[in-house]
Structure 1
Amino acid sequence: MTAERILAAFPRLSALVVGDICLDRWCTYDPAETDLSRETGIPRIGVVSTQITPGAGGTVANNLAALGAGRVAVLGVTGDDGFGFELGRALRSRGIEPDLLITTADVQTFTYTKIINGKSGVEDRPRLDFINTQPLAPDVERAMIERLNANAGEFDVIFVSDQAETSAGGAVTEGVRQWLAQWRTAYPDKIVWVDSRMRADRFRKAIVKPNLQEAEECCRRLFSRVDFEALRRHIDTDLLFVTHGERGVLVVEPGSESWVETRPVENPVDICGAGDSFSAGAGLALAATRLPVAAARMGNLVASVTIMKKGTGTASPDEVLAAEKRLQV
């Protein structure tokens, strides 16, 4: 099936992104303004401009909206702080519904701040991350599950973004994982698409998309060997997508594996967010076609566009069609 036919179906689809909805801040500084602080003697970084974009699950949502999905909403947890306000505004400006976000003073908004040298254009200072190291409070977890119960049925696809790199995790708690497994059992035709940086093996019933490193780490932790079919059975899913960067994607189904090759892109600008853009394209395509290989091919095309953009870029339908023609995949 051609990309054009698949893309034409996207406006009829609705998607909910659940989990770690973050804020990305790109702060550009002027090296000429790096003076010593009078109070401490420590060199200051003189930021002259700041750009903000939704990050983590917000990047998935941003890509879904750019691809033309008919409705995109997010469900997660933000702090009662300025970064949370900025995140809500950034989501609305991209046509993404932020109304299901839970705001609480118990957490701070999950935020990545990247410091860019205005002269070289290079990120050359330590990244400043605002993270949460405590588990989600029980009342906030209950609110997450209540909002899932009340709203999940309205959407064709649920994307789960489990990106917190702390041992406590983020918005995707064990209770949320259990709810997702039960819901998928009750509604097997609904698509639940999971991207989990550290905990892919803890999900059940859902379609899971680890990258190669994440999948191998799960396998070694569980079986002391790399066995993607065993990982698929452990998750109890019909589909496992293992992305291999610029080489392609391995699609693991019961009794079979399919290799979906892509063509390497020369001189990629920024691979940050490539996995999120793959998920957006592949998840929507799977909802539109129910064809795993066609879905993987669409995900590859979307990612091939976004890696040519600085930061967590997106791909429009026209850019995807141009990539299909250029790469001939």
Structure 2
Amino acid sequence: MLTTESIDQILTSIPARTIGLVGDLFLDRYLDIDAARNEPSVETGLIAYQVTRVRSYPGALGTVMNNLAALGVGRICPIAVIGDDGEGYELRQALSRMPALDQAGLVSAPDRRTPTYTKPMLEEAGRPPRELSRLDIKNRTPTPAALETAVIDHIERAWSQFDALIVLDQVSEVDCGVVTRRVRERIAELAARDPNKFVLADSREQIGKFRNVCVKPNADECKKAVSHPDTPDQDEEGLFTARCLELVRTGAVRAVFGTSGERGIYLARTTAPDGVEGRFVPAYPVSGPIDICGAGDSCSAGISCAMVAGQTYHDAAAFGNLVASITVQQIGTTGTASPAQVRQRWIDVGKFCS
């Protein structure tokens, strides 16, 4: 059970911990557009939007990194591939502002593009900014074998330094991102040899292909991973929990942290000697408007911080829920949670629940 003492233990332990990350590192670029300055293009007659400010942040794997830094992790070591391009330069600038970050594992590849989400934000008088159609830059060809080898080499060299490893497979196109089949298999081999190291994997399309690690799927990702027949007496929640249990029952993964929005996390894991059990770790109550952007990444950061501080799976899930309950209340931004915010939120939760 999560307590004030366990929260203090987590927050005071993690400045001495090193957490590694492997996966797809994106640039999130926001273009602030002033609608009052719009002008017609001389050449086409179309509206020429006038950008008044460019804001750049590390996205995807970078969102998890930002949450780890905000919580106070002492050393953060990402392993990723970015392009030798303007977006890559922009991304490195954004990363340089992040405390505790070691960029030694970033591989710069001249034949790959830096994955980028460009988000035009239209500002109109008397109205909140609204996002126009997003522009995406991604690599849609398979990751070259030489880059896979470079990523694997970085993982192998740094493995012993990591207190935990977070794996984020953001790219939907198979084997076109950082976490390819070869990379996934090597992580499985290393994790099998070192069962005490906590490894947490998150993947949009391939969660069912991870081995010897913990996984954090949502309902849609579970459905892609596990073939479970629909039955008349099971609702969506019942199917979700059944799929989480099935992921563990196969013996492929150590535990499942199944995220289920306001319900919280469905934690499924093996029991001695060969059983399987699951239970919901409830989310903490939130009032008012919410913004779920980045909530899953903040939850991953919270779970991993609790695990490297020696907490149980259950208490790690509860701490992940607590962190996410802070970030979802930060509207219009990809939120983070500081130690002070975590402690205050715990006090507020106690008042709300008493």
Query: Which amino acid is the alignment partner of residue 203 of structure 2?
Result: S
Matched, 1:244 2:252: no
Look up the match of 2:47. Answer: 43
Deviation at 1:166, TM superposition (A): 2.4
Name the CA distance, whole Å, in 2 between partners of 1:196 and 1:311: 22
CA contact (8 A) 1:79 1:104 kept: yes
Question: Which whole-Å CA distance do the structure 2 matches of 1:268 and 1:7 have between them?
Answer: 27
Q: What is the identity percentage for the equivalent residue pairs of Structure 1 and Structure 2?
A: 37
Determine if the alignment matches structure 1 residue 318 to structure 2 residue 322. Answer: no
1:131 counterpart = 2:153 = no
Task: Give structure 2 stretches of 5+ with no counterpart.
Answer: 231-238, 271-275
Query: Residues 110, 12 of structure 1: CA spacing in aligned structure 2 closer, same or farther, 3 A cutoff?
Result: same
Give the residue type in structure 2 aligned to 1:234: T
Residue 224 of structure 1 and its aligned partner are, at CA, apart by: 4.0
* Residue aligning to 1:299: 320
Counterpart of 1:99 in 2: which secondary structure? helix
Aligned twin of 1:216 = 223
Residue 62 of structure 1, aligned match among 55, 60, 66: 66
| Residues 1-329 of structure 1: pairs in structure 2 closer than 5 A | 1-2=3-4, 3-95=7-99, 96-119=101-124, 120-219=127-226, 222-224=227-229, 226=239, 227-234=243-250, 236-254=252-270, 255-309=276-330, 310-328=332-350
Tell me how far 1:5 sits from its aligned partner: 2.2
How many angstroms does 1:212 deviate by?
2.2
Amino acid at match of 2:180: T
Q: Give CA deviations for 1:250-303 in whole Å, capped at 9, x if unaligned.
A: 100112112111234223342111000000011110121240111011111111
SS in 2 for 1:17: strand
TM-score using structure 1 length? 0.95
Contact 2:263 2:280 in 1 (8 A): no
Deviation at 1:29, TM superposition (A): 0.5
For residues 51-108 of structure 1, give each alpha carbon's deviation from its aligned partner in whole angstroms, at most 9, with x where no partner exists.
Answer: 1111111110111111011100111000001111111121121122222100011211
Equivalences, count = 327
- Closer, same or farther in 2 for the Cα pair 1:78/1:291, shift >3 Å? same
Letter in 1 for 2:249: R
| CA RMSD in angstroms, aligned pairs only | 1.6
Show structure 1 runs of 5+ residues with no match: none
AA at the equivalent of 1:36: P
Rg larger for? 2
Cα contact 2:9–2:309 (8 A) shared by 1? no
1:5 is paired with a residue of what secondary structure? Answer: helix
* 1:201/1:234 contact within 8 Å kept: no
- Residues 262-271 or 292-301, more deviating: 262-271
Judged with a 3 Å threshold, the aligned counterparts in structure 2 of structure 1 residues 235 and 125 are, in CA distance, closer, same or farther, namely farther
* Deviation (angstroms), 1:233: 3.0
* 1:323 to partner: Cα distance: 1.1
State the AA in 1 paired with 2:171: A
| Mapped contact 1:114–1:123 kept (Cα < 8 A) | no
Cα-to-partner distance string for 1:199-256 (whole Å, 9 max, x where unaligned): 100111111001122223322xx34454221112336122100011122111001121
